[in-house]
Amino acid sequence: MKRFFIPLMIAIFILLSACTSSTGSTIEIEDPWARAAAAMVGEMGGHNMGDMGTPAGNTAMGEMQHAGANSGAFMVIRNNGNQADRLIKAESDVAEAVEIHLSEMKDGVMTMRQVDGIDIPANGQAELKPGSYHVMLIGLKRDLVAGEKIRLKLTFEKSGSIEVDAEVRAP
Ligand SMILES: [Cu+2]
């Protein structure tokens, strides 16, 4: 009996550790959503950008009023693990390009810039919200209509890729 016992314990131990490591992701995405926006660059979008004479993404208006063709996605990213992780990439089929951005107040003006990633502390969270970190959807290929869902693929340094459906909400 004792002969079997030790190998059995070893086998169980290996199984358990394989399970916990393959469960892998300790990342949880809460309440993902994207801002409704029209893809077309028509009367509004087109000439507005030209008239302003400033590069997109560096205007005083922040992400609220990009020419119609952009949108933003927001969520809370929870890390239930004991190791810090980092969001390093975001992708979606609905936009030509997807970047990770940070909006900030600078001298009373809302600006935003691209960042390399967003740290998700161990047993902590990062909040992506208007006026702060966000996933920038640049060059919408189609309208984002309130009520529908769009697929986002988020890639983390340690946890790999996670796909989520973000609900489109009216601005
Ligand atoms: Cu942005």
The per-residue pLDDT for range 116-168, each reduced to its tens digit, is 999 999 999 999 999 999 999 999 999 999 999 999 999 999 999 999 999 99
**How far apart are the CA of 82 and the centre of ligand 1, in A?**
30
Question: How far does residue 126's CA lie from ligand 1's centre (Å)?
Answer: 16
Could you tell me the CA-to-CA distances from 6 to 9, 10, 13, 18, 20 in Å, in that order? Answer: 5, 6, 10, 18, 21
Residue 102 CA to ligand 1 centre (angstroms): 7
Q: Is pTM, for the whole model, over 0.75?
A: no
User: Tokens 């400033």, residue?
Assistant: 54
Q: What is the 111 CA–ligand 1 centroid distance (Å)?
A: 9
**Ligand 1 center–CA 60 separation, angstroms:** 12
Structure tokens at 128: 């992506």
**Domains of the chain in sequence order:** 25-169 (2.60.40.1890)
Given a contact cutoff of 8 angstroms between Cβ atoms, the answer to whether 155 and 112 are in contact is: no
Could you read off the pLDDT of 56-98 as tens digits, one per residue? 444 444 444 445 599 999 999 999 999 999 999 999 999 999 9
CA distances from 69 to 15, 33, 148 (A): 50, 17, 17
Parallel, antiparallel, or unpaired for β 27-35 and 160-169? parallel
Helices (H) and strands (E) in the chain, counts: 2, 10
